[in-house]
Structure 1
Amino acid sequence: MTTLTTYQQKALRLDKHIALTANAGSGKTFVLAQRFLKIILDEKIPIKKIVAITFTDKAAGELYNKISKQIETELIGEVDLSKKYRLKKIREQLVSANISTIHSFCLNVLKEFAPEANLDASFLPIDKESSNEILDLAVEESFQEIIIDSENSSSLKNCVRIIGSKSNLIKQLKLLVNKRRSFLKMKSDFLEKSIQELNDYQKSLFDKYYDSIFLHDENTLVKRISVFNYDVASSNPKNKYSDQISELLERLDQQSLTKIGRLQTYQELFKVMLTGKFQIRQQGYAPKELIESHLELNEILSEQASIISKFDLANPEVVIENYSRFIKDITIVLDSVISKYSLMKKEKGFIDFEDILLFTEKVLEHEEVIQKLKEKYSYIMIDEFQDTNEIQINIFLPILENLNKGNLFVVGDEKQSIYMFREAEIGIFNETKKMISEIDGKENLLNLPHSFRLSKEIAFFSNQLFSNLFRNYDSSFNEVQYNELVFFDKGENPNSKIEVLVSNQTEEEFYTQPELICSKIAELINEKKVELNQIAILCRKRIDFTELEKELIKEQIPYTIIGGRGFYQRQLVLDLYNYLAFLINQNNDAALLAVLRSPFYSIDDSQIFLLSFQKGNNLFEKLKASASINSDMEKVIAILQDHIDFVSQNRLSELLRKIFNDTAYTSVIINRINSKQELANIDKLFEVAQSYINQGFRSLYDFVNYLNESIQLSEDEGQAEVSASENSIKIMTIHQSKGLEFDAVFLYNLQTKFNLTNVKAKDIDFDKEFGFISKIPLDNYFEEYKSPINISVYGNIIKRKEVAEQKRLLYVAVTRAAKYLFLCYDDNGKISEDSFAGMLKSVFPSLSSFSHIKLDGSLKKMFKKNESFEEVDIPISIDLETYTKAEDQKLILSGEKSLENKFEINTEKLIDKSKGEVITASQYAVYRNCPVKYQLIYELGINEISEMLPSKVNYEYYDNDTPQTGSERGTIVHHLLAYETLKENLKQTAESKFKSSDFVIEESVRLVENYYSSEIYNSLLKSGNHYNEYEIYSEFEDIYLHGYIDKLIIDNSRGILVDYKTDNINESNIISKIELYKNQLMFYAKMIFDRFPKINDVEIKLIFLNDLTKSYSEVVKRDSNALNELENNLKKLIHSVRERKYNFNKLNCGNCQFFINKKCIKENQINEKYSTV
């Protein structure tokens, strides 16, 4: 798609604010990229004056990529030299473009205005784990301070009693801290208002939202009940209920009846008129024939009664007053915790994830800050605007003077708003549309109705389904209007089907959903309808992944879990936990038993059973005793003992690497069907360990405890990301599929009932209007807990909002499919209305009969004709086939070899095919410098020979240094920079940590001080998230790459790789130095691209601390030829090592420590020790 449609062209107007509603697959990212480029070219403004905000880092990367490719396209076709020059300049500057998430944008604002935000200039954003640790301490200290405060101690005690326990109160408070923005705005009201004023406020909320209780107009409902009751009385004058119902209806006519009184009357009315299951009563009241003639009324009354029956109306005044007292108490406790938490963070210079937005919103209260940001940014574009919230729009509106200055472009789709649980507010989109309409007119509220993604069959099905589900929408419940999809005909006419796969559990023998899905996948692949990596299985919950995995493994279907939950519950983590638990306590028999049976050693149960007959006080002693009769056990003992001895060195990362290198774990899992995922999880485990240790003062014992807690509590931690390009089907949640598309999509477990919010006793939530959401005991803490009337109203509203969001979630799921859509569910004869399957059946009732369904209608089609676009209505008919049986067929992947292949005899030289070696950046750099040098150092171990040879320039030291002092300086400098030691503490830290001469200490400190004062350092300080001494792994073919990066900065889709050097630099050696180190940096760049799929560019920065003006920088793109060359060189290295074949690179002999008397020592054989070289 290179030509803009009419709808897309309208979105490129730059003189007006625009709100763009974009249907699924409408090419909105393409529009964003075009608009970004148009602003730069037409308005001729610096690229930094444009801000593009995306919902995720991945989306930021995609937008950056689109813009980059569009620039390349424009450059190829451009003949105007001045415009071509301009495009080249834009391409160079693109790496510094403000394309990021809202949090990254806000971090940059806070770094620029830290003093105004009342933050330390060197503030540090912290992760969830660190913030939780601080919050735990804050809660504990707050409790201690409150309990000795005679005025407030009773508040804490009351909260503990009402919430049930101290531990549960702590849990609830921690959840509330993460929603503190709304609380802080209401806090003063809760503290300052009297109990009576709080009572009145709660009643006012009930009155305000009273009408929301009714699904239909209340007066109409009363009239319909009156008519029905009259008909009942007429047909059966002797029935015993119609008179009671008439009296209750008369009471509802009284104007003086309060709204609480009305609800109480409805409860009485429904109790008389309806059965316990909320159906119109037959026995003693209405004849069956009359009820059957009023089925709609019966359904309305059933729904209405189920809502009103949930209101606690026995003693509403008492409940409200008790709740007001609870509000006072919990406010005092929560305020104390938040204050203590804020103080602890401030003392350490930390801010958490929530603080990033809170501090940004606060700093924008400063007029001088707003003024500078107005001058700095002229155009603001926000993607996925349906998922924004109040604080986010409040950050941008001041910069745009509430749309009276600058230019705002927002794009999104209300039908795809699915993040209410993250406090996304769909109403913000409507409010912003209203603002734009009032300022620039309704003509700037635009739509992209066409879909380039969906086949005509899926587009038509979507319109049929969702035009029904979204009808009669009420925006007060976050319900949205449905804009029909326009099918864009690309002239491809692909095969397309929508099928229903039902596990019919009403039958004695039935196929499960996973069996049906695997059979259908085999059919799709075997018949070459789609590629394996173009199939996705979408689930509502991650818990569904487990049963899918079992069947996929059984059927040998390659799969990848995208963001799968339960990282800490994976067998890998459990195995490593047991291994480490044993290493720190050799009496832990259970841990050792698990280790022996695990893939680390794969010892079978029969051998383990025999160990029980050996002598010893624990299993490890018995294992040692078995060595004399079992040589295999002797090897296991040797490895375990080596690891036990290594523990004392307190080097966790190296210990983990040693465990996996010395045992067979990776060899075992590499042969599994999901090996890529498991290997990625190992990498993540290494990162978790490194991150944990980097926080300081942490031991192996602490890490084992941390793993144990995470296994027990951290069920939502996602598994490691695996490249989406892997040739495997993808399993993910619907939320994770947002923005993606696949040729074939299976929607799994559609019968699962929605987990709608219920206000629970002993739980607390917070709403920006209703305040605290909970239940309260009436008189004593052992009675049934009651909801105040306003909270019952809230519960009804939030449920309707959640049902509306589930409809939108189903829309997102359906519109991920381009060609094939499979709707999968269990049917045991009882499908809940509150489920996706229930929604489908409400629109297509015939699904219940497991029969063929035919849908007929029309669809609007757009197509390109010459250089313009046309739209026509086309007739369309589709079949929905239902399948309950799985075909007995196995997946056949292309490239699989027949077992009947004849053997061939290979007479070529055998090469060492060992796998799993680790290649470091230093090894690669040395190999590129000279393969023979690599052999001398890494194969023959002549790494200390430099001590008996003349000095060479490849050491990092000055002319009057020895290699030792040069090495010491490098070590000191790297330590100071790794810990970002404050300028005033540099000398003290260096002296306390290192036993070096005064000269070396002073020179080291001088280098760091100069660097801290440089423009290079200040510019890096303002970029992204920083990681010092970052350990990184990457898999390449059958080896592993490994290295430590001095500083890694992740800034959305861009990485910055910083390497510090303390070499003596001059004009004569600068080029050779750069070439020498560039190999190492390119090696790191490759690993960064492998490790971070979202990163598109890596800027490599070689910083020569002795002469900062000589520092080198280069931007490496993901598709760079240099990376292809690096991979080829890695293959050569692997081949050389395994074949033990090393060639001279005589171009670098002059600067090599092994080049003596104009010859390499390999030729000289200067020492008998190395005579075999």
Structure 2
Amino acid sequence: MSERSWTPQQAQAIQSRGGTLLVSAAAGSGKTAVLVERVVSMLLDEEHPVDADRLLVVTFSNAAAQEMRQRIDARLAQEQAAQPHSQHLRHQRFLMERAHISTIHSFCLDLVSQHTEELDLPADFILGEENRLSLLRQEAAAQAIEAFYASDEDGSFSDLVELLSGGRDDNRVTDTIFKLYEFVRSHPFYEDWLAEKEKMYDPDVPVEKTVWGQTILSYGMEAVEYCLQINKELLEQMEGIPELEKAYGAPFYEDGQHLGTLLNAMRSGQWNSCCEQLQTFSFGRLGALRGFEDDTLKQRMQSGRDQIKKIIKGLSQRQFCANAQEFQEDIADLRPKVKTLFSLVLAYDRQYAQLKKEQKLLDFSDLEHMALRLLMEKADGAYRPTALARQAAQDYEEVLVDEYQDTNGAQDMIFFAVSQNGGNLFMVGDVKQSIYRFRQAMPEIFMEKLDSYSPFDGKNYPAKIVLGKNFRSRPEVAGFVNFVFQQLMSRKMGEMDYGPEQELIAAASYPPDEKMQAELHLVEIQDSPESTVQQEAAYVASQISSLISGGASVWENGAPRPVRFADICILLRSVKNKAKAYREALLQEGINSWTDSRNGFLQSREIQVMTAFLQMLDNPYRDIPLLTVLMSDLFGFSPEQIAAIRILDRRGSFYAALQKSAEQGDEVSAGFLRQTQQLHRLAVSIPVADLLTEIYARTDYPAIVSAYPMGEARKANLQQLCSYAAAFEKSGSRGLYAFVRFLDRLSEQKTDFVSASSGGSADAVQILSIHRSKGLEFPYVFLC
């Protein structure tokens, strides 16, 4: 191992051999360093060295894979410098060129590319660009829905449409297809998974044995137990107070008796009894309490009882609102609708696959499922590795997977297939850092292994090792995080208990500084026209302004210096609907800001103008695009000029009026027509990307938008539009007309491109999502 000092747990994770190992690595615990050192130690093992190309290392992103490769090679270079004549080290560094260090999708892509004939794929397939795939998804959904309408002889599809959308339109049906399809594709062999779920809708199964009945009964028991606890505490508080005992004692005692009877019914699964008791639950009348001086205690008694009443009312109206017969009738009614929905999703799946095949396209999910088809097969009702999988597993001494908490079911099965049935699998992750459930990550896979694996003892496998020491944060930060999550995180809320095994142990060495404290700010929202987000943004902006003006400092190169805007980061759960409010609030305080927005590309000012320009060149008789271009900063027509031109031809198109204006000697109108007509002729003979470049050169539009707020990002967006146009034509479509139609459909379907990243201003507050940054590179972080 390297000369670095490792903790006992880190050393175990690096040196262990002989079986499956799960490493639960808390934030800042050095998991990447441990993973790198484990690989290096296997390559340099004197007794049983492993060649670099016989390890499979899987990371979450291409950037992480590249960093991993570089860090491993750097460690080997370090060892080689100490042993310059080592043939083994020279050989390992040579093998690093073909080492299998990649994302799961890159691994699957390599596998699928080698077996296109078995998968009935064109050998020259490519991964489709997201916006193009989005249009294919819309087309596939429309075709599937149309086919179901045409064959709806028994009315089952019409019933489904009525259930989902109330007969208004098919938008809700389409949305449901997309959401269910995306969800099921995270499961291996999702056709079988859907078939199993369909079996759940059996009206003959007693309510209390269905998954829904069990879930409701479990929730009901928790709710009633909570009510009993409140009731018990209130009775204890009135003990020894004669006035309270006389007025409230008997009714409160009766409440407790009723709640106990209800709880017993829930525990024994007596569904109808639960429904009946809740519907007829009666709270006894409280006695008069005159002259009682402790008004606070009296209010506490009444408030606690009101809380119990509210919970019981909620259970009766929402969870236990149907008796067993009504429940089973609902299941019987839903069964054909669910069957139709699942059939519709699978029909959409087939249609979408066909459209992609025609255009020689695949998406990332296709890679996973095609890899599964190659690696797993069903026999005797169970899935097992194929001969190809068994051969692939022999190629790898070990399979090492980073960020395992963000693995889904399909990926988990792939790792199982190529790791000798999971026998040589090394997994690293932290379920507390799972933030990709919206991408169908399944942290419960990690949790199941964490719960079932035994602590590492060097002999028994599969085993787990916990890395709990945090070498990154100050003790104040670690302590604050522990305090918050000890209050919030439990098995029922967050899927795990935040106990000693999960707590952060501050291990970094920092000089003491009383100013370095984690702070929790609770913003009191005012009744005003401003939204909650706007008020929070204004508060954060004022805090940043105070930080700057108050003389705060940061350490750099061993000395303090004044804090700058670039030292500060605002982290949001999502920047999509909030970043604008924060930018505006910061601007009000005179603070520069920058956000790496992944949305809003087509709605940005500069792209709307250029989209209108392309629409106008394609068809100058479309008034709205033409007027957008005329009144933009490109040509600067005033409202008065527009009105004067319109008067020349009140009924025709605005382009006709513009032509009349030019004919009557208006040089501004004539100049516009000359320039756009030249560009229109060019558009017929050159690619759209080249046409955009020509427009930029003739109008100097990139320089114009550079003067806007966020100018560099806007300028980068213009170049990004060229890239999207080039990619569109590369995919097989050609010409201005096709690209304009493509943009129109994206707008209609509320689909968007990813905005360009300009890298931000040299000195600006960064506004980022927690998926883009952990805030580690910033001295000051506002988590909002």
Distance 1:601 1:299, change over 3 A: same
Q: Tell me, in whole angstroms, the C-alpha distance in 2 between the residues paired with 1:303 and 1:123.
A: 57
Moved more, 684-693 or 312-321: 312-321
Structure 2 partner of 1:453 = 472
Higher helix share: 2
* Aligned 1:237-636 pairs, distance under 5 A: 250=261, 253=264, 258-265=269-276, 267-268=278-279, 272-273=282-283, 289=297, 292=300, 306=314, 309-311=317-319, 313-314=321-322, 315-346=326-357, 349-365=360-376, 367-404=386-423, 407-433=424-450, 436-437=453-454, 440-441=459-460, 444-470=463-489, 472-474=490-492, 477=495, 481=499, 483-493=502-512, 496-500=516-520, 504-506=524-526, 512-525=535-548, 527=551, 528-529=553-554, 530-541=563-574, 542-612=576-646, 617-623=652-658, 634-636=670-672
C-alpha contact 2:594 2:766 (8 A) present in aligned 1: yes
Q: Tell me, in whole angstroms, the C-alpha distance in 1 between the residues paired with 2:623 and 2:359.
A: 41
Structure 1 partner of 2:708 = 672
Structure 1 partner of 2:210 = 204
C-alpha contact 1:385 1:411 (8 A) present in aligned 2: yes
Distance 1:147 1:94, change over 3 A: same
C-alpha contact 1:556 1:673 (8 A) present in aligned 2: no
Q: Tell me, in whole angstroms, the C-alpha distance in 2 between the residues paired with 1:318 and 1:222.
A: 33
Q: Tell me, in whole angstroms, the C-alpha distance in 1 between the residues paired with 2:769 and 2:477.
A: 20
Q: Give the letter aligned to residue 450 of structure 2.
A: K
C-alpha contact 2:208 2:269 (8 A) present in aligned 1: no
Higher strand share: 1
Q: Give the letter aligned to residue 548 of structure 1.
A: Y
Q: Give the letter aligned to residue 517 of structure 1.
A: V
Q: Give the letter aligned to residue 595 of structure 2.
A: I
C-alpha contact 2:112 2:371 (8 A) present in aligned 1: yes
* Aligned 1:955-994 pairs, distance under 5 A: none
* Aligned 1:114-263 pairs, distance under 5 A: 114-117=116-119, 119-149=121-151, 154-164=155-165, 165-181=169-185, 182=187, 183-189=190-196, 196=203, 203-214=209-220, 216=222, 222=228, 225=231, 235-236=246-247, 250=261, 253=264, 258-263=269-274
1:35 aligns with 2:52: no
C-alpha contact 1:383 1:410 (8 A) present in aligned 2: yes
Q: RCO higher in 1 or 2 (8 Å CA, sep ≥ 6)?
A: 2
Q: Tell me, in whole angstroms, the C-alpha distance in 2 between the residues paired with 1:714 and 1:48.
A: 45
1:1053-1089 Cα shifts (integer Å, max 9, x gaps)? xxxxxxxxxxxxxxxxxxxxxxxxxxxxxxxxxxxxx
SS of 1:568's partner is coil
Distance 1:393 1:480, change over 3 A: farther
Choose which of 675, 680, 690 in structure 2 pairs with 1:654. Answer: 690
TM-score w.r.t. length of structure 1: 0.56
C-alpha contact 2:56 2:398 (8 A) present in aligned 1: yes
1:1114-1172 Cα shifts (integer Å, max 9, x gaps)? xxxxxxxxxxxxxxxxxxxxxxxxxxxxxxxxxxxxxxxxxxxxxxxxxxxxxxxxxxx
CA shift for structure 1 position 13: 1.3
Moved more, 99-108 or 54-63: 54-63
CA shift for structure 1 position 376: 1.5
Distance 1:666 1:741, change over 3 A: same
Distance 1:632 1:37, change over 3 A: farther
Structure 1 partner of 2:557 = none
SS of 2:15's partner is coil
C-alpha contact 1:20 1:445 (8 A) present in aligned 2: yes
Q: Give the letter aligned to residue 336 of structure 1.
A: A
* Aligned 1:802-821 pairs, distance under 5 A: none
Distance 1:26 1:303, change over 3 A: farther
Q: Give the letter aligned to residue 433 of structure 1.
A: L
Q: Tell me, in whole angstroms, the C-alpha distance in 2 between the residues paired with 1:489 and 1:256.
A: 49
Q: Tell me, in whole angstroms, the C-alpha distance in 1 between the residues paired with 2:737 and 2:117.
A: 40
Q: Give the letter aligned to residue 685 of structure 2.
A: Q
1:512-563 Cα shifts (integer Å, max 9, x gaps)? 4434433443454564434443321112232011112223345553332124
1:554-609 Cα shifts (integer Å, max 9, x gaps)? 55533321243222221122111211222222223322222122232344445545
Choose which of 690, 707, 720 in structure 2 pairs with 1:684. Answer: 720
Q: Give the letter aligned to residue 721 of structure 2.
A: L
C-alpha contact 2:716 2:758 (8 A) present in aligned 1: yes
Q: Tell me, in whole angstroms, the C-alpha distance in 1 between the residues paired with 2:202 and 2:289.
A: 46
Structure 1 partner of 2:382 = none
CA shift for structure 1 position 723: 3.2
Q: Tell me, in whole angstroms, the C-alpha distance in 2 between the residues paired with 1:261 and 1:233.
A: 36
SS of 1:292's partner is helix
Q: Give the letter aligned to residue 418 of structure 1.
A: I
1:179-236 Cα shifts (integer Å, max 9, x gaps)? 3345512344567899545x55895213443453047485685587589689899623
CA shift for structure 1 position 618: 4.3
Give the superposed CA RMSD. Answer: 4.1
C-alpha contact 1:568 1:714 (8 A) present in aligned 2: no
C-alpha contact 2:265 2:271 (8 A) present in aligned 1: no
Structure 2 partner of 1:112 = 114
Q: Give the letter aligned to residue 392 of structure 2.
A: L
Q: Give the letter aligned to residue 565 of structure 1.
A: N
Distance 1:167 1:615, change over 3 A: closer
Number of residues of Structure 1 aligned to a counterpart in Structure 2: 733
* Aligned 1:849-998 pairs, distance under 5 A: none
1:893-943 Cα shifts (integer Å, max 9, x gaps)? xxxxxxxxxxxxxxxxxxxxxxxxxxxxxxxxxxxxxxxxxxxxxxxxxxx
CA shift for structure 1 position 159: 1.6
Percentage of identical aligned residues: 22
C-alpha contact 2:160 2:340 (8 A) present in aligned 1: yes
CA shift for structure 1 position 283: 9.1
Q: Give the letter aligned to residue 61 of structure 1.
A: Q
C-alpha contact 1:532 1:729 (8 A) present in aligned 2: yes
Structure 2 partner of 1:22 = 25
CA shift for structure 1 position 12: 0.7
CA shift for structure 1 position 442: 8.0
1:958-982 Cα shifts (integer Å, max 9, x gaps)? xxxxxxxxxxxxxxxxxxxxxxxxx
C-alpha contact 1:241 1:284 (8 A) present in aligned 2: no
Q: Give the letter aligned to residue 166 of structure 1.
A: D
Q: Give the letter aligned to residue 691 of structure 2.
A: L
Distance 1:599 1:70, change over 3 A: farther
Q: Tell me, in whole angstroms, the C-alpha distance in 1 between the residues paired with 2:301 and 2:266.
A: 32
1:96-118 Cα shifts (integer Å, max 9, x gaps)? 33222211111212223344545
Q: Tell me, in whole angstroms, the C-alpha distance in 2 between the residues paired with 1:425 and 1:718.
A: 26
Choose which of 98, 101, 106 in structure 2 pairs with 1:99. Answer: 101
SS of 1:397's partner is helix
TM-score w.r.t. length of structure 2: 0.82
Q: Tell me, in whole angstroms, the C-alpha distance in 1 between the residues paired with 2:731 and 2:52.
A: 37
Choose which of 79, 84, 90 in structure 2 pairs with 1:81. Answer: 84
